[in-house]
Amino acid sequence: MAKKIKDANGNTYVQKKPFYKRIWFWLLVIVVIIGVGGAMGSGSSSKKSGSKVTYANYKKINLSKDNGTTKEEANKLFGKKPSTTSTDELEGVKTDTETWDGAIVGSSLTIGFEDGHAVNKVIDGLKVNRKHKITLADYDTIQNGQTKKEILDKFGKPNGYSHTNILGKNSETWSYTSGIKGDSGANFVLTFDDGVVTVKTQTSMK
């Protein structure tokens, strides 16, 4: 409900909510997020020349709080500075996040650094050609404990990867966003621990 306030002359005004507290603002944010997700899964072939953001280079990024890839090494690997950066500090621990745009529109590679060393990495929007669309029924056959090879043999390569090394524990996720049967933005994500599936989630698949 709008709040009524009075000025020094006794006039009454209605104090409007800040835009970020209005429901239309958050609906717009959701629409933008969905639009970005759709672009990432579209497999558009529009190119940005000279980009070195590739899966091959992604694999070269070493994750370790003590001796993981440094920012300087990452900049050298990709041949340029990141397109976006952010810095956070929690309980005295400084973390930096840097993102490079990929060759395909909507693709990107992000690295999280702790004390100057890479501890997590994400690559999205990789183009993958699939012979058949992956259905919800196909997704339902995935069981915890299946290996990465079993997933690759049945579904092919994912459109995105994420690796994390926190406190010596390695976790990996694969995201499938193209060639998925379902509503716009349909996708599924698998989490692997010690090389086997431990968590699976899907959105809007049919």
Q: Render pLDDT for 54-79 as a digit per residue (tens, 0 to 9).
A: 999 999 999 998 899 999 999 999 88
> Do residues 181 and 108 share a domain?
yes
> Do residues 22 and 124 share a domain?
no
> Do residues 35 and 49 share a domain?
no
Instruction: For residue 25, give the H/E element and its range.
Output: helix 23-41
Range of the domain at 7: 3-39
> Do residues 13 and 102 share a domain?
no
> Do residues 55 and 82 share a domain?
yes
Q: What's residue 39's pLDDT?
A: 46
Q: What's residue 9's pLDDT?
A: 64
**pTM, 2 dp:** 0.71
Q: What's residue 32's pLDDT?
A: 47
Sequential DSSP letters for 108-168? EEEEEEETTEEEEEEEE------SSPBPHHHHHT--TT-BHHHHHHHH---SEEEEEEETT
Our count of domains for the chain comes to 2
> Do residues 14 and 70 share a domain?
no
> Do residues 32 and 125 share a domain?
no
Q: What's residue 10's pLDDT?
A: 64
> Do residues 10 and 35 share a domain?
yes
Instruction: For residue 62, give the H/E element and its range.
Output: none
Q: What's residue 4's pLDDT?
A: 54
> Do residues 13 and 66 share a domain?
no
The dihedral formed by the CA atoms of 147, 185, 32 and 17, expressed in degrees to the nearest 10: -90
Q: What is the mean pLDDT of the chain?
A: 82
> Do residues 176 and 148 share a domain?
yes
* Domain CATH for 148: 3.10.450.730
- Pick out the chain residues at pLDDT < 50: 19-20, 24-25, 29, 31-36, 38-49
Q: What's residue 199's pLDDT?
A: 97
> Do residues 176 and 147 share a domain?
yes
> Do residues 52 and 148 share a domain?
yes
Distances in Å between the alpha carbon of 51 and those of 65, 78, 88, 100, 130? Answer: 27, 7, 27, 9, 24
